[in-house]
């Protein structure tokens, strides 16, 4: 039986950088460094072909158009490979992973995102372990979704969030079990993995400059700040609320403002500032006013998934009412039914 063939897409990130006088910058010979690392691995490693972007993306500069580029690159090569590994910066990796899960619905092979906290070229880098293990996971027969692999944890891509700037355990999924642990040995959680779909259902719309804006409530936030944000004419607003989905309701002007925005076609969704738990707008009496204003809850979705999902649905050309309805449907395992 021939070894599986994996597409290794280097989109950017710390993994392929080196320290310079001006700070970290892309390593000019990353491909040769990678080849040197992987040629010393045992025969259990699948074959790979490197596809490196000419201008690596600093993930803090990533935009929805970059998600689209990566998604279309995977779709274009989908039938040529048995799996995919995407090397990406950690800062916005969870956003890209979530977006890919919506573009590449019904995956029937692995798409594994990884990177590192320490460049491959630096001593004690976490890059060798992350890349080697990601390649091994991309050859798995039981993974049929977009996932993030980091330091022993395999996480559903649209459930992941970055939890540390410096620790090697850079990512976690607060509202969903890990798909697998690899340390000290590989162990899958078969109940957590998505089952293999009958057929792929890729959706690759044009991601434009649609405004999806976050609004984080803090004590004493003036209503005029909310009004200024809505004056930017966003297509959707993510209300980052307290607890189970609470906002200040002492000033009726806030709910009136949200109600007018809803009536004008703005999609309003409420998530929690707490990373773990489920948003339930009706838990407290204040939620009645939010519901009347057209705000919908986000269940147990993470912020990155909410942001990417709204972008995706709006890019499909849906009306505001259609987005509100489709947003509440579990599309790729991002939401507990």
- CA end-to-end span of the chain, whole Å? 40
Residue closest to 195 by CA, chosen among 106, 115, 279: 106
SS3 289: helix
Could you give the C-alpha distances from 111 to 86, 104, 138, 145, 323, in angstroms and in order?
7, 9, 7, 6, 26
- Phi first, then psi: what are they for 78, rounded to 5°? -55, -40
Query: In this structure, are residues 176 and 200 in contact, taking their beta carbons and an 8 Å threshold?
Result: no
Q: Classify strands 47-52 and 83-87 as parallel, antiparallel or unpaired.
A: unpaired
- Given the residues 14, 90, 114, 298, the one annotated as active site: 14
- Count of other CB atoms within 10 angstroms of residue 147: 32
How far apart are alpha carbons 161 and 150 in whole angstroms? Answer: 12
CB 106 within 8 A of CB 199: yes
Residue 279 is encoded by which pair of tokens? 């948003």
The pair of three-digit structure tokens given for residue 300, joined into one six-digit string: 């147990």
Q: How many CB atoms lie within 10 A of CB 59?
A: 20
The neighbour count for residue 5, using CB atoms within 10 Å, is: 15
The DSSP bridge partners found for residue 47 are 5
- Beta-strand relationship, 83-87 and 111-114: parallel
Active site residue 161: no
Distance CA 329, CA 195 (A): 17
| Beta pairing partners, 172 | 161
Mention every residue, 6+ apart, whose C-beta is less than 8 A from residue 136: 44, 45, 46
- Residue 181 DSSP SS3: strand
Positions annotated as catalytic residues are: 14
């Amino acid at each position: 039986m021939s070894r599986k063939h994996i597409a290794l897409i280097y989109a950017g990130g710390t993994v392929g950088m080196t320290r310079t006088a001006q700070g970290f910058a892309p390593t000019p010979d990353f491909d040769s460094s990678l080849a040197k690392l992987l040629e010393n691995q045992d025969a259990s490693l699948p074959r790979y072909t490197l596809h490196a972007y000419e201008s690596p993306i600093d993930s803090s500069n990533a935009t929805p158009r970059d998600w689209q580029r990566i998604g279309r690159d995977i779709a274009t090569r989908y039938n040529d490979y048995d799996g995919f590994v995407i090397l990406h910066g950690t800062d916005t990796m969870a956003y890209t992973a979530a977006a890919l899960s919506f573009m590449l619905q019904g995956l029937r092979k692995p798409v594994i995102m990884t990177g590192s906290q320490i460049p491959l070229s630096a001593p004690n880098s976490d890059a060798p372990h992350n890349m080697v293990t990601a390649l091994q996971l991309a050859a798995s027969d039981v993974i049929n979704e977009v996932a993030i692999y980091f330091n022993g944890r395999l996480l559903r891509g649209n459930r992941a969030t970055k939890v540390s700037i410096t620790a090697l355990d850079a990512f976690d999924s607060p509202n969903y079990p890990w798909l697998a642990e690899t340390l000290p040995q590989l162990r899958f959680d078969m109940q957590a993995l998505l089952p293999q779909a009958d057929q792929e259902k890729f959706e690759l719309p044009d991601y434009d400059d649609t405004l999806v804006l976050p609004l984080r409530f803090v004590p004493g936030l003036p209503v005029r700040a909310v009004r200024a944000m809505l004056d930017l004419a966003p297509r959707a607003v993510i209300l980052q609320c307290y607890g189970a989905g609470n906002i200040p309701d002492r000033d009726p002007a806030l709910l009136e403002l949200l109600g007018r925005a809803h009536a004008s076609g703005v999609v309003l969704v409420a998530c929690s500032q707490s990373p773990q738990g489920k948003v339930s707008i009706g838990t407290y009496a204040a939620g009645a006013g939010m519901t009347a204003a057209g705000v919908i809850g986000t269940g147990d979705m993470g912020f990155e998934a909410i942001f990417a999902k709204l972008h995706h649905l709006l890019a499909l050309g849906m009306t505001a009412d259609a987005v509100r309805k489709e947003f509440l449907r579990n599309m790729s395992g991002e939401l507990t039914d």
